[in-house]
Amino acid sequence: MRERRRWTLLVVCLATGVLLINVAAPNVALPDIGSHLDAELSVLQWVISGYSLALAATLLTAGTLADLVGRRRMFLGGLAGFAAASALCAVAPTALALIVGRAAQGVAGAVLLSSSLALLAQDFTGVARAGAIGIWGATVAAAFAIGPLEGGLLTEAFGWRAIFLLDVAVALACLPVAVRRLRESRDPDAGQVDWWGTVTLCLGLFLGVFALTRGDVLGWGSGVIVASAAAAAALLTAFVVVERREPEPMLDLGLFATPTFTGASVVVLLLAASTFGPFLYLTLFLLDVVGASPTAVGLQLMPLSAAAFVVSYLGGRFARVLPVRVILPAGQLLSAAGLLAMRGVEATSPWTFLLPGLLLMGVGVGLSNPAVTYAALGVVPATRSGMASGTNNTFRQVGLAIGIAALGTLLPAQAEADATAYAAALDRILLVSAAVATVAGILAVTLIRQRDFVVDPVPAGS
């Protein structure tokens, strides 16, 4: 049992790491991608947000499928699909082809994420589950922050396409290990796929993020933007109606009757928006305004990686000593402090100006990631782990996509060519992000309740 658990944890963390590295690794390559594929910033945003949006829009359906047809089977399919989509990105001849490839990566990533947390939940219980989720959370934190360094090294040495070729190699290397070591499981009570819910959610999220990202370019009062925003609101409302009436919904709205589950979902959305969102614009500031090389930017952001990795791991191990309702607000407030500490950076500032803020933000992210995941999974029985993990990660990726789109509206068009204007816009982005992180901390204190957590029975033989 212990050996199988170790292999499960290893394969799940490797697969999760490579797909989440893809959230941040292309950040440092965006100027090169734009140059080679002749694309402007408003289009390049979709290289990042398109991936997260596709991930978010299909996670719930992927979670239902994992419970229905088998978590191991879906995990293997996700690995193969991720390798294929990464190959498409690597050979993309145009910006549109790259965005399509990134969306395909996002769909495959949804399959991997939804099944990976369910695989952990089925093999680990109690304190062991908290430790496993801590390691998984450390992987998330490390992948996010190591991504820029990996992207920088590969871009400078081999070109931006090498980022996606490495994805192909890692996914294919994980496949034979997963085939041999993972145990199959499914939810015996799982229903059919909720296709109406999937369609309304996908279209609603796409149109909402489209309106945010193109509003500055087309004009906030233009017919296209107004129609997109209205359609997004109508479709997302329809999604809620469908889920209420659907006998076997992909999102059981009854889960939100538990305050802790609601808190974990809202907090993870705000967490992603307030950390991953500004991270993109800080990276572009260092590349385009400061003039640092992609590798230098990756190294400058490494303190965040180290702090997040260590704290995330320890936070998972000592979840019983430090309750989630304490860890999560503390993490969010530290993230807010880190964001505020980075305000005032200029093109002439030494990179050490960012160091205190990066360390504080790393500690905050490291505390928050495993805590918010443990909260989402800890209040549902193991048989609902697929839906719970899918919901948690959906909210995370929606937050990331919305954060990138919404914070991008604070960046005026002239900022790309004006260092002073970009620095001023970055200050606003950091301030707004800190406010959002603070709100997340307040909501965590209000909604997370220790009595909502359930204790799963220990499986036979463990």
Torsion of CA 392, 47, 108, 251, to 10 degrees: 30
0.85 surpassed by pTM: no
| Model pLDDT, residue 174 | 86
| Model pLDDT, residue 41 | 76
Q: Which long-range contacts (CB under 8 A, 24 or more apart) does 178-183 make?
A: 178/11, 178/15, 178/72, 178/75, 178/76, 178/79, 179/76, 181/4, 181/7, 181/8, 181/11, 182/7, 182/8, 182/11, 182/72, 182/75, 182/76, 182/119, 183/4, 183/8, 183/72, 183/122, 183/123
Reduced to 3 states (helix: H, G, I; strand: E, B; else coil), residue 159 is: coil
Average pLDDT across each block of 10 residues of the chain; the chain has 462 residues. List them in order.
75 82 83 88 82 83 80 89 95 94 91 79 72 75 76 91 92 87 72 82 86 77 90 93 84 85 93 90 88 89 84 65 83 96 90 94 88 82 70 84 87 73 92 96 90 54 34
Residue of 191, 180, 197, 182 lying closest to 122 (CA atoms): 182
Q: Kindly state the tokens that stand for 153.
A: 């090294």
DSSP 340-363: HHTTT--TTS-GGGGHHHHHHHHH
Q: Kindly state the tokens that stand for 222.
A: 């233009």
What span, in angstroms and rounded, lies between the C-alpha atoms of 118 and 146? 25
What span, in angstroms and rounded, lies between the C-alpha atoms of 244 and 313? 38
| Model pLDDT, residue 420 | 84
448 in Cβ contact with 328 (< 8 Å): yes
| Model pLDDT, residue 25 | 85
DSSP-based helix, strand, coil % in the chain, nearest 5: 85, 0, 15
What span, in angstroms and rounded, lies between the C-alpha atoms of 130 and 149? 29
What span, in angstroms and rounded, lies between the C-alpha atoms of 424 and 343? 9
What span, in angstroms and rounded, lies between the C-alpha atoms of 20 and 29? 16
What is the SS3 string spanning 288-318? HHHCCCHHHHHHHCHHHHHHHHHHHHHHHHC
Helix or strand (DSSP H, E) at 263: helix 259-284
DSSP 8-state class, residue 248: S
Helix or strand (DSSP H, E) at 113: helix 95-123
Helices 419-447, 324-341: axis angle to 10 degrees equals 170
Residue 332 contacts by C-beta under 8 Å, 6 or more apart in sequence? 267, 270, 271, 364, 368, 437, 438, 440, 441, 444
Residue type, 115: S
| Model pLDDT, residue 421 | 86
| Model pLDDT, residue 386 | 63
| Model pLDDT, residue 405 | 85
What span, in angstroms and rounded, lies between the C-alpha atoms of 221 and 225? 7
What span, in angstroms and rounded, lies between the C-alpha atoms of 258 and 452? 7
Helix or strand (DSSP H, E) at 328: helix 324-341
What span, in angstroms and rounded, lies between the C-alpha atoms of 222 and 219? 5
